[in-house]
Amino acid sequence: MDWSHELLASFIWLSKAFGISIIGLIFVTWGLCRFTGWGRQFKRLAWPYFAPSRSWKPLAVLALIVFMTLFSVRMNVLFSFWYNGFYTAMQKLDAKAFWFMLGVFAILATVHVARALLTYYLRQAFLIHWRTALTDSVIKRWLDNQGYHRSRYVKDAVDNPDQRIQQDVDSFVASSLTLSMGLLDAVVSLFSFTLILWGLSGALTLLGVEIPRAMVFLVYLYVIVATVFAIWIGRPLIQLNFLNEKLNANFRYALIRVREYGESIAFFRGEAVERATLMGRFAGVIGNMWAIVHRSVKFQGFNLSISQAAVVFPMIVQAPRLFSKQITLGDVMQTAEAFGQVQDALSFFRSSYDEFTGYRAVLNRLSGFLDSMDEAERLPVIETQGEAGLLAFESLTVLRPDGGVLLEDLSLRLSAGGALLIRGPSGAGKTTLLRAVAGLWPFATGKVIRPVGEQALFLPQKPYLPLGTLRAALNYPATEHAGAAAEDILRQCQLGHLVSRLDEEADWTGMLSLGEQQRLAIGRALLARPQVLFLDEASSAMDEGLEHAMYGLLRRTLPEAILVSVGHRSSLLEFHTQEMELLGAGKWQTRVLSPA
């Protein structure tokens, strides 16, 4: 074999194959994204990263990865010719040719190792950048327009969004690259090694019929029949893989809840109930795993049997020609190599079918997540008009999700310094009213006039303490943290014992009592100095003395702020100028209180 001529032919082949592959990938991708459901799902997830208007760099790196994939195929072709020359030299006992072929192998192996390392680096860098961009995009969709909260009210609310953001995004980018480059490798290898196999194949007589180039036709027939049976056996794996992700996520969520509510469970001694719940969910995981195992045993057993038979099949077919000295041992070895490459290429869908099933499940989960965010954005939002120093409700009606009326035709007006106390029996809609005013409750109509943005602050009954330092928790949601003022605020809120720990990172939700968390939330209000402050039983965990002190602190420090409180204690009346009582069935009444 003339290796200099073969190297020149390799450069020409790579140039042509690269151009054809790029054009083919564009055409095939366009067709899949245009005419198939899962192709449209892929486009929806991938296009924001690959759009040329964003940057040409991802497409350029992808083109380089395509080139390296083609280079890998060409290296396999050169190795197949090396096998032929090496074994032929051994058969002829030609020492000079033997050592020459070893020298050629050293060069090919060096290039192969360098190519493999460069390909690995390019692929990993590409995956990291793509995953970073897609994760940022998905998190943005989740957080924008409060989709993380509003999506719970959509018809098909998604389960375990945390898993979809973390695990499914990673699986999507990794599988997209692996399967697409695997498919390209299979197609190009199929074409290249079919030509080699065509040149090495001879005629074969079956049942009195002579089949020219029999090896080529036999390998195609062999793999096509095997693939049809493999798809039939492995098809149930699509749904099983989807259920596997869902059931594992549900089990993990139940474990997290035990950790989050550990104190309450311990008080109730609810270990037996929690164990039954956990093991019940785990039983679903295990049942689905056994179903996957049973189906995979059939699927993998069939694939392994086909692969093992493919090892000796080409040698059996070529053996008569070798024994009759029509071909050399090198030809037989190159035939086996070419047959294996063609068989692997044709078997790509069969051998990767379980990966495709997992990939389809990931596409469905991520697409379902985006669909849920889209639906959450389409949910109605109560009309809100921004105006400083004023809180007004105009014909405000709040409904239950089933259409039942919680509050009907509420009209009320508070100016700067005004304070409203909302009271009523449990389930009357007090908290839901505040949700509607905040724009979190989609089942409401009417108009709200109030300060917006940072000038409005809502304090729920159970405050949220973010991960990080106590100072960050005190300043939340502000990103700029107060200095010495934070220490003074803690002392005013009777949390002086925490001043020395302001910059300590800890799980503050688990370390502070609910009363301490509520006082910390009061401190947030003192730092933020909003024009309107909504408190939803934000002092319920304090005793009356602490509650009195905190409300007095708020009224002294924020005298011009509008205060809206939900509470049951009559001791709160002295800090408010109006009282509104929810009577049920949509009815309400107000009365003016003595000046605070």
Q: What ranges do the domains of the chain cover?
A: 3-378, 383-592
Quick one: angle between helices 169-200 and 37-50, nearest 10?
110
Cβ atoms of residues 519 and 542 within 8 Å: yes
Given the DSSP bridges, would you call strands 419-423 and 532-536 parallel, antiparallel or unpaired?
unpaired
Cβ atoms of residues 591 and 576 within 8 Å: no
Spell 216-242 as b/e; 16+ CB within 10 A means b.
bebbeebbeebbeebeebbebbbebbb
More confident residue, 185 or 531: 531
**Would you say residue 248 has pLDDT above 80?**
yes
238 sits in the region (left: phi over 0; alpha: psi -120 to 50; else beta) called alpha
Structure confidence at residue 448 (pLDDT): 93
Q: Average pLDDT, stretch 384-405?
A: 90
More confident residue, 225 or 435: 435
Structure confidence at residue 267 (pLDDT): 67
Q: For residue 304, what are its two tokens?
A: 């392994």
How far, in Å, CA of 114 to CA of 120, rounded? Answer: 10
How far, in Å, CA of 234 to CA of 299, rounded? Answer: 6
Confirm whether pTM is higher than 0.85: no
Cβ atoms of residues 227 and 350 within 8 Å: yes
Domains 3-378 and 383-592 share a fold: no
Architecture of domain 3-378: Up-down Bundle (1.20)
**Would you say residue 331 has pLDDT above 90?**
no
**For the chain, counts of helices (H) and of strands (E):** 20, 12
**Would you say residue 321 has pLDDT above 80?**
no
436-482 residue pLDDT tens: 998 888 999 999 999 988 899 999 998 888 888 898 889 888 877 66
Residue type, 323: F
539-577 residue pLDDT tens: 999 999 999 999 999 999 999 999 999 988 888 998 999
For the ranges 174-188, 232-246, 549-563, the maximum mean pLDDT occurs at 549-563
Residue type, 503: D
Name residues whose C-beta falls within 8 Å of residue 202's C-beta, 6 or more positions apart in sequence: 213, 214, 215, 318, 321, 326, 327
Mean pLDDT, the chain, whole residue set: 83
Q: Return the CATH fold of 383-592.
A: Rossmann fold (3.40.50)
Q: Average pLDDT, stretch 326-348?
A: 73
Cβ atoms of residues 537 and 483 within 8 Å: no
Name residues whose C-beta falls within 8 Å of residue 575's C-beta, 6 or more positions apart in sequence: 419, 421, 551, 552, 554, 555, 563, 565, 596
Which SS3 state, helix, strand or coil, does residue 358 take? helix
Q: For residue 493, what are its two tokens?
A: 């809120």
Chain-centre distance of CA 107, in angstroms?
43
More confident residue, 437 or 55: 437
Structure confidence at residue 596 (pLDDT): 47
